[in-house]
Amino acid sequence: MANSTQVTQMVQPAPRSQWLMLHVVHPLGRWAFILPLLIVNSIVVIVPSVSGILYAYTDWNGIGDAHWVGLSNFQTLFQDPIFFKAFSNNIIYTALFLTLPIMMGLLGAYLLAGITHGQVIYRLIYFIPYMFSSVINTQIWRYLLHPKYGIGAALANYGITFLDFPIFGRRDTALFGIVFVDGWHWWGFLVVIYLAAMTQVDRELYEVARLDGATRFQQFRFVTLPSIRPTLIFTLLIIFIGTTLVFDHVYILTGGGPAHASEVMSTYLYTQAFQNFDVGYAASIGVILSLWVSVPLLLFYYLRRRGWEI
């Protein structure tokens, strides 16, 4: 018995060794695993972000030396009518996406939720447009809405002329045409997301609502929407961020034209950086763009801290 006790004491580490293992070796081991990710993240995200903020205070053209100009770029930016036009277009773009695609997505998901047979096929049909790349998507609708060979011209042969005009070539319709094309590409994704959330709603809640005499609309309003609120808030966030940073659909379809009618902040940033070679000014646009995107994120964080279940 004494021999076994002595062996146990010899096997157990000394208190100082335990302290070193707990407070030094284990933390260093965790940092050793996460260090490669931190290095990659610093190179890909942190360094370019900090560099972009610093270049916003210079007159760098992308090639030579950068000269510090202070707040000059921001002063010019806040006096630039094209920037304010692009900013207002971003707001319109976001406002339209926060209404029509979401309402269509909720409606489509709610109708599909009642289908018991072949639901997978319907999900696939709705999701097909989202699987197309933005280049393919825009080219499809560029030909469908072509003023000479598209749907409008074909309908005009039968006396239906409401689409017989260049949608992407007119200042009053270019932005809305892009929103339509991007929305067609996006709303099927929302249908699938909302449908997945609705399938998790407790069926007993609907049974209780029906027993209380609730109509289908009242069931949707008072049962479905509160139950999928976290998913709905999540889609609102990604829509706000995505529409604020939208670039590909605008650049491919109109390039921001005609006469800056469909210009958004990202395309204006691209023009300043890669066509006018005013990288410092473009960086200042990027700073404003980042601040604008951070608004809903800060609001979301604030509401979560206040105890909102979102």
Sequential DSSP letters for 268-302: HHHHHHHTS--HHHHHHHHHHHHHHHHHHHHHHHH
Q: How far, in whole angstroms, is CA 7 from its chain's centroid?
A: 62
Are 12 and 125 members of one domain? no
Which residues 6+ apart lie within 8 Å of 165 measured at CB?
147, 152, 173
d(CA 266, CA 81): 15
Confidence at 288, pLDDT banded by 50, 70, 90 = very high
**8, 136: one domain:** no
- Within 10 Å of residue 18's Cβ, how many Cβ atoms? 11
Q: Which residue has the tokens 């030579």?
A: 64
Q: What is the pLDDT of residue 3?
A: 53
SS3 state at 254:
coil
Residue with the bigger pLDDT between 44 and 59: it is 59
Range of lowest pLDDT (3-12, 112-121, 130-139, 188-197): 3-12
Q: Hey, is 124 helix, strand or coil?
A: helix
Residue 35 in any domain: the answer is yes
Does any domain span residue 184? yes
Across the range 183-194, mean pLDDT stands at 89
Where on the phi/psi map is residue 256: left (φ > 0), alpha (ψ -120 to 50), or beta?
left
Provide, rounded to the nearest whole percent, the portion of the chain with pLDDT above 90.
Answer: 36
* Res 292 pLDDT > 50: yes
Beta strands in 72-211 (DSSP E): none
Same domain, 118 and 51: no
50 and 113 belong to one structural domain: no
As to burial, measured by CB atoms within 10 angstroms (0-12 exposed, 13-18 middle, 19+ buried), residue 57 is buried
Band (240; pLDDT cuts 50, 70, 90): very high
Residue 73 lies in a domain: no
**Residue 253 within any structural domain of the chain:** yes
Cis peptide before 258 (omega within 30 of 0): yes
- Looking at the structure, tell me whether residues 262 and 155 fall in a common domain: yes
Residue 72 domain-assigned (yes or no): no
Q: Is the pLDDT of residue 160 over 60?
A: yes
Question: 9 pLDDT exceeds 60?
Answer: no
Secondary structure (3-state) at 68 = strand
Could you tell me if 37 and 98 lie in one domain? no
Q: What mean pLDDT value characterizes the chain?
A: 85
Summarize pLDDT for 112-146 with one digit per residue, the tens. Answer: 887 777 778 888 888 888 888 889 999 999 999 98
Share of the chain above pLDDT 70, in %: 90
**pLDDT score of 2 more than 80:** no
pLDDT of residue 21: 59
At 38, which amino acid appears? L
How many helical (H) and strand (E) elements, i.e. helices and strands, does the chain have? 18, 0
46 and 171 belong to one structural domain: no
Distances (CA, A) of 308 to 136, 226, 303: 40, 12, 6
The verdict on 22 and 121 lying in the same domain is no
| 188, 273: one domain | yes
Lowest mean pLDDT among 21-30, 42-51, 81-90, 111-120: 21-30
Other CB atoms within 10 Å distance of the CB of residue 228 = 22
> Is residue 100 within 8 Å of residue 183, measured between CB atoms?
yes
Domain contains 74: no
Contact 161, 155 (CB under 8 A): yes
Could you tell me the residue range of the domain that residue 152 belongs to? 80-305
- Considering the domain architecture, whether residues 160 and 15 belong to the same structural domain is answered as no
pLDDT given for residue 163 in this prediction: 85
> Do both 136 and 284 map to the same domain?
yes
Task: Give the three-state DSSP class for 16.
Answer: helix
Residues 262 and 132 in one domain: yes
* Predicted local confidence at residue 116, as pLDDT: 73
Query: Does residue 271 contact residue 265 with C-beta atoms inside 8 Å?
Result: no
In a domain, 70, yes or no: no
Residue 64 lies in a domain: no
What CATH number does residue 269 fall under?
1.10.3720.10
